[in-house]
Amino acid sequence: MGRLDGRIAAVTGAGRGIGAEIAKLLASEGAKVVVNDLGANTDGSGSGKIADDVAKEIRDAGGEAVGHTESISTVAGGQSLLQTAIDNFGGLDILVNNAGILRDKTIFNMEEEDWDAVIAVHLKGHYCTSRPFAKYIRENNRTNCRIINFSSTSGLFGNFGQSNYGAAKAGIAGFTRVLSMELAKYGCTVNTISPAALTRMTIPLREARGQKVEESELEQGGPQHVAPIVTWLASDEAAKVSNQILHAARGLVGIMQQPAILKAFQKSKGVWSQEELDKYVPELVQAKEENDARVKELGKPVVID
C-alpha cells in the first residue's frame, strides 16, 4: 500500500535532477507517472530521450511510468503532456511543474533571447501545463487534484545575475496564489516549492566560485531531499494545504511568509504631501526592518533527531 495508490502524476523536467527524484518517489508510493523531459542542456539548447530512461527505471523497479519528451514551453507540449496521462493511465491528478533552464547574465548583458528563453520554460511553461489540466479538472469535475510549482530563492529573495530567472520564479509564486483561488472550488491544492539541491544546474555554479563539490555532499544536499516534500504535498494528508511556499533543501523543510502589509498610515482626507512622506515612509521602512529581524530569528531551523 502506497500513499498515492491509484493516483496519476505528471512531472516536468523529470529526466534528471530534482524532477527524476520526484517521479521515482511518487511511483514508489503507487502513483502512475508521466515522466516529461526535453533532455535539454542547462541553457535550454538541445534535446534527448532521458525521460524514457527514467520511465524505464521506474518500470524496472515495479512501478508504472511512461516517458514524454516534448517541451513544456509551448501550449501544444502542455496539452500533449495531459493527453499522454489520459491515453496511458486514464486521467491526471497530480501535476509537478519542475522543468527549468538557466541563462545567467547581468542586465547589461541580458539579450532578448536570454530573457525570452528563461521566461518561456519557467513562467510560460507553468501556464502551458496548468491551463489544460485546470480545464480538464473543471470539465470532468475531477476533485482532490494537486499542482506543485517550482520557484526559487532567486525570485523570492533575489539573486545577482539572474533577472530573467528571478522574474520568472517570482512570477510562478504569483501564478500559484491565483491558481490556488481559482481551483479551490474543485478541491485542487496549488503550492510552490522553493528548492535547493546539488544538481547539474547548481554544481557548476558552486564550482565556478571555486567550491569543489565532494561525493559525500551529494548525499546531504542532493535532489533526493526535495522529493519527499513534493510527495507529501501530493498525498491525501495535504488536502487542506494550499497557496503555501515550502522551502526544501538538505533535510530542511520550512514555510515562507507571503507578501503582507506590515504597517500602514491612513490619511483621513486629501493626498499625501512630500513633507508628510518624509516623516512616514522612514517609519514604514523601519517596521519592515524590525520584521525582517524577527523573521530571521523565527526561521532558524528546529533540529529533529
Ligand X SMILES: NC(=O)c1ccc[n+]([C@@H]2O[C@H](COP(=O)([O-])OP(=O)(O)OC[C@H]3O[C@@H](n4cnc5c(N)ncnc54)[C@H](O)[C@@H]3O)[C@@H](O)[C@H]2O)c1
**Distance (Å, rounded) from C-alpha 294 to C-alpha 100?**
33
Shortest Cβ distance from residue 231 to ligand X (Å)? 15
Binding-site member from 8, 10, 18, 117 for ligand X (CB under 6 A) = 18
Q: Should residue 267 be labelled a site residue for ligand X when binding is judged by CB under 6 A? A: no
Q: Is residue 203 classed exposed, middle or buried when 0-12, 13-18 and 19+ CB atoms within 10 A define those classes?
A: middle
Among 63, 67, 78, 100, binds ligand X (CB under 6 A): 100
Please say which residue, 44 or 63, places its beta carbon nearer to ligand X: 44
Identify which range of 177-185, 199-207, 253-261, 278-286 contacts ligand X by CB under 6 A: 199-207
- Of all residues in this chain, which one has the CB nearest to ligand X in the complex? 17
Paired with 249 in beta bridges are 196, 252
For ligand X, give the closer residue by CB, 22 or 27: 22
Q: At what angle do helices 163-182 and 125-140 cross, to 10 degrees?
A: 10
How many amino acids of this chain bind ligand X (CB under 6 A)? 32
Residues 6+ apart with CB under 8 A from 58: 23, 24, 27, 33, 35, 64, 65
Q: From the list 4, 8, 11, 17, which residue makes contact with ligand X (rule: CB under 6 A)? A: 17
Q: Between 104 and 187, name the residue whose CB sits nearer to ligand X.
A: 104
Mapped onto helix, strand or coil, the DSSP state of residue 155 is helix
Q: Which of residues 55-84 bind ligand X (CB under 6 A)?
A: 71-73
- What is the rounded distance in angstroms from the CA atom of residue 74 to the CA atom of residue 44? 14
Query: Given the complex with ligand X, which of 39 and 63 has the nearer CB atom?
Result: 39
Helix axes 17-28 and 50-60, enclosed angle (nearest 10):
30
Q: Which amino acid is it at 279?
A: K
Judged by CB, which is closer to ligand X: 207, or 289?
207
Q: Kindly give the pairing relationship between strand 146-150 and strand 64-68.
A: unpaired
- Among 296, 203, 192, CA closest to 248: 192
Least distance to ligand X, CB of residue 111, Å: 19
**Distance in Å, CB of 121 to ligand X, minimum:** 5
Catalytic: which of 136, 165, 186, 280? 165
Which one of residues 197, 230, 234, 246 is an interface residue with ligand X (CB under 6 A)? 197
Rounded to a whole number of angstroms, the minimum distance from the CB of residue 200 to ligand X is 5
* Total Cβ atoms within 10 A of residue 88: 15
Residues of span 102-161 touching ligand X by CB under 6 A: 121, 150, 152
Q: Is 165 a catalytic residue?
A: yes
- Which SS3 state, helix, strand or coil, does residue 178 take? helix
Q: Which helix (H) or strand (E) holds 289?
A: helix 274-298
Q: Which is nearer to ligand X, 12 or 242 (CB)?
A: 12
- In the list 25, 31, 40, 96, the residue contacting ligand X (rule: CB under 6 A) is 40
Using the contact rule CB under 6 A, the part of the chain among 141-149, 192-200, 209-217, 284-292 near ligand X is 192-200
CA dihedral 83, 124, 19, 245 (to 10 degrees): -120
Q: Active-site residue numbers?
A: 165
Binding site for ligand X (CB under 6 A): 12-13, 15-19, 36-40, 42, 44, 71-73, 98-101, 121, 150, 152, 195-197, 199-202, 223
